[in-house]
Amino acid sequence: MFVDSHVNLHSENYEDDAAAVIARARAAGVTAMLTISDKLSSTDAIKAIADGDELIWRSVGVHPHYAKEYPDLAADRLVAMAADENVVGIGECGLDFYYEHSDRSVQERVFAAHIAASRKTGLPLIIHTRDADERMREMLEGGQREGAFVPLLHCYTGGPALAEAVLEMGGYVSFSGIITFKNASDVRTVAEATPMDRIIIETDCPYLAPVPMRGRRNEPAYLTHVAEKLAELKQLSLEEVEKQTTDNFFRLFTRASDPRPVS
Ligand SMILES: [Zn+2]
């Protein structure tokens, strides 16, 4: 089985056919998924999806684009929301200095609340970072000095230094369909350098459909194209990539229970 570690199933793109999308994922071997919070007002919709399915977990958090809607977000609010048993991670959260939809100072304050919530709950921190490698690294390293938490760089497109810093903290890196894009050789270089026991995979659907689906609406069934590209980069079989990334997912997201039979 594959796990799609980052899906946005509450997206309006799936309004009409979410059940069919999930069924196609499972037919493709993508048995489990983690559906991600973008803002707190989406929580009811996300919870309804996860509550209805034993192999769909969820996160709580605020994407940096929406940080301005929650400028005074307290870590304890996230901690309270994370008490529900199908919440397995904090995020997605972070810094986006490319789009900068929220002021940088607000993004940083809201991200700091997520770091504190990750530390308090022991749940991994699901990080979105764009054009912010240096500040991200400073905030993560500063956060670690106050107490440990486990970072995950999702849909990673940053440089090697930030990835190495996160690995040093015991963290993980997630790669998406971007590794299949022709112009993404820098991302492939980082994937090649990241140890196989620290990599997980995702579609980030409905965005970023991998080649050969590029340009279409993305969905979790297409995760196999990400896995195939990773197998090629790592010179591994698809089965090895499947087993290793699934093992890694359950080692990282300790609150999600692994349905595979114990071998
Ligand atoms: Zn993201």
Q: How many folded domains does the chain comprise?
A: 1
Residue 30 lies in a domain: yes
CA triple 186-157-240, angle to 5 deg: 80
Q: What is the mean pLDDT of residues 56-75?
A: 98
pLDDT tens, residue by residue, 203-223: 999 999 999 999 999 999 999
CA of 155 to the centre of ligand 1 (A): 6
Query: Coil, strand or helix: which one is 87?
Result: strand
CA of 262 to the centre of ligand 1 (A): 33
Residue 88 lies in a domain: yes
Residue 34 lies in a domain: yes
**For position 185, what pLDDT does the model report?**
97
Residue 261 lies in a domain: no
Q: Which domain holds residue 83?
A: 2-252
CA of 95 to the centre of ligand 1 (A): 10
pLDDT tens, residue by residue, 218-243: 999 999 999 999 999 999 999 999 99
Residue 260 lies in a domain: no
- Which of 251, 253, 231, 226 lies closest to 241 in space, CA to CA? 231
Query: Coil, strand or helix: which one is 152?
Result: strand
**For position 177, what pLDDT does the model report?**
97
Q: What is the CATH number of the domain that holds 49?
A: 3.20.20.140
CA of 63 to the centre of ligand 1 (A): 7
Whole-number percent of the chain with pLDDT over 70: 100
CA 189 to chain centre: 20
Summary mean pLDDT of the chain: 97
Residues with Cβ–ion distance below 5 A, ligand 1: 128
Within 122-175, residue ranges assigned H as helices are 133-146, 160-168
208 conformational bin, left if phi > 0, alpha if psi -120 to 50, beta if neither:
left
Q: What is the mean pLDDT of residues 69-81?
A: 98
Yes or no: say if 126 and 156 are a contact pair by the CB < 8 Å rule: no
Residue 191 lies in a domain: yes
pLDDT tens, residue by residue, 103-131: 999 999 999 999 999 999 999 999 999 99
Residue 262 lies in a domain: no
For residue 263, is pLDDT > 90? no
pLDDT tens, residue by residue, 142-171: 999 999 999 999 999 999 999 999 999 999
CA of 251 to the centre of ligand 1 (A): 21
CA of 28 to the centre of ligand 1 (A): 24
Q: How confident is the model at residue 248 (pLDDT cuts 50, 70, 90)?
A: very high
CA of 241 to the centre of ligand 1 (A): 23
CA of 263 to the centre of ligand 1 (A): 34
CA of 74 to the centre of ligand 1 (A): 21
**For position 20, what pLDDT does the model report?**
97
Q: What is the mean pLDDT of residues 238-261?
A: 97
Residue 166 lies in a domain: yes
**For position 262, what pLDDT does the model report?**
82
CA of 123 to the centre of ligand 1 (A): 18
pTM here is 0.97
